[in-house]
Every structure is written in C-alpha cells, then in structure tokens.
Amino acid sequence: MISGKLICKLIVIATIIVACEKDVAYETTLTGIWKWKSTEGGYSGIWETPESTGKNIIIEFTTDSIYREFLNGSLLRECHFQISEGIAIFNQDTVPLITGVYPWPLVFEIYNGTTLNLYDNCVDGFKYVYSRMK
C-alpha cells in the first residue's frame, strides 16, 4: 500500500518538474533579438513608432538569462532577467512574466514565433510590440 507521505512527495516532485519545463519552454521562445515596432497605452494613451520618434530600439534575450537593450545602436541597459508565472493585473489570468528588467514585471506573449508583445503588469501600463530579427 502506498503511504500518504509518498503520494504527497510524488505530487511535489511532479509539480516542480512541470514548473521547470514551463520556464524552459517560455525561455526558448523568448530567446533572440527583437526590433521595436510600437508602444501604446499609459494615462495619455500614446502611440509611438520608430518613425514617429526617430528611435531604433533592439532588445535581446539570451539563453543565459541576460537582457540587453540598444537605442540607436548604443547599449542602453544590460541585466539578468527571470521568467516565472504570475497573475496579469489587467485580466487576472495566469501568464508568463519577465522580472528583473524593470522595477515591475512584464507580461509577454509571442505570436507565430515572430511577434513579441510585452505589457507592463501595472495599472495604466504600456504595450510594447517587437518583431523577431533572429
């Protein structure tokens, strides 16, 4: 007969394995170089693009959890990031989050492997749209 303690241990181990697999899957889809296409939102409801601002923004997520942000070819920021799951402030769904890049977490979505949407996970935050370069 299987004891209750053994069942609990197996459930904990299975949960840890599944959680680790999700982080790796999220990280592999996020890894790469992305070019900024637009920013929208905030209190004022802004809409910005490279054409309207003159800014060429490139971001990179590496396999060793390094985030780099370049503005017009110059390195603007480099830091470590983490991927986890959390609750989205705007719909209360469980979503993948990037932490360590800004003081607040970023929700991310990737479509067709080519479009990255980042959302500030805070009230009246912004949506940032990027396209995959590599």
The DSSP result for 21-53, as a single string, is HHHHHHHHHH-EEEEEEEEEETTTTEEE-HHHH
One digit per residue, pLDDT tens: the chain, 134 residues? 555 554 434 343 433 334 443 444 455 589 999 999 999 998 888 999 999 999 999 999 999 999 999 999 999 999 999 999 999 888 888 999 999 999 999 999 999 999 999 999 988 899 999 999 98
Question: How much helix, strand and coil, in percent to the nearest 5, is found in the chain?
Answer: 25, 45, 30
pTM value is: 0.77
Backbone angles phi, psi at 97, to 5 degrees: -125, 145
Burial 34-55 (b: 16+ CB within 10 A, else e): bbbeebeeeeeeeeeeeeeeee
Give the CATH number for residue 41: 2.40.128
Question: Which residue range is the domain that position 94 belongs to?
Answer: 4-132
As for how many domains the chain has, the answer is 1
